[in-house]
Structure 1
Amino acid sequence: MPRRVSLPGAEEFFRPTQGAASSPPAPEETSGTSGRVRHDEKITIYLSGAELLELEQARLSLRAEYGAAADRGRVVREAIAIALADLAANGEASQLVKRLKG
């Protein structure tokens, strides 16, 4: 007859530690882009083939001519931040309003 081995229970593995760990301070919300961080939210945008080609050419140009390596998502986030800052600063006179009004 096989012997049963006595193993520790969950209480032994998950016992409370000495002293409570303090949680890190919440990051301050700032306007602008978040840079290279893992993002919680996602949106999907649809581009024409020509728009996607322009985006890719801009990304490659940023890398080749200015030494700024960024993926397409980062370029789009930066462009959004620029457009929103312009809207906040200039309102009706912003490029975003002008382009959307036609």
Structure 2
Amino acid sequence: MPRRLTVPDDIFRPTAVPPPAAAVPAEPAVAVVEEPVETPGSSKGRQSSGRVKHDEKMTVYVTSDELLDLEHARLELRRHHGLGVDRGRIVRAAIAMALADLDQHGADSALVARLAQD
């Protein structure tokens, strides 16, 4: 006979008192503002998407050393810079920086130089 767990109704209650209805902001309560990376020849600039819902997914395979380096960077950002970010956000920021550099410097970009080494 299957057993079902009964969950109290208040388990998903809000943890903070909501603001009065008249004071509800039009924008989400958590907003991350990042300055766009301006690039010559590109009017839109590049920036990391930050903390938003992402609809696309990409799988990247890394070595265990690369994963440890990424985790050490995450802890460094938290410990010494007060930035509590996840690994995905670090990767998205790095991608935005690499693509902005490629837009700005083309063949002289760090991305081209790094990929030419491999």
TM-score (norm 1): 0.70
Aligned residues, how many?
74
Which runs of at least 4 in structure 1 moved beyond 3 Å after TM superposition?
none
- More strand by percentage: 2
Greater relative contact order (Cα < 8 A, sep 6+): 2
SS in 1 for 2:46: coil
Deviations 1:52-101 (A, max 9, x none): 00000000000000111100000000000000000000001100000111
What is aligned with 1:40? Answer: 55
Per the TM alignment, residue 31 of structure 1 is displaced from its structure 2 partner at its CA by 2.4
Larger radius of gyration: 1
Gaps of 5+ in 2: 1-43
What is aligned with 2:113? Answer: 98
Compute the RMSD of aligned alpha carbons: 1.2
Q: Is the 8 A contact 2:102 2:111 kept in 1?
A: yes
Q: Is the 8 A contact 2:77 2:83 kept in 1?
A: yes
Gaps of 5+ in 1: 1-28
What is aligned with 1:87? Answer: 102
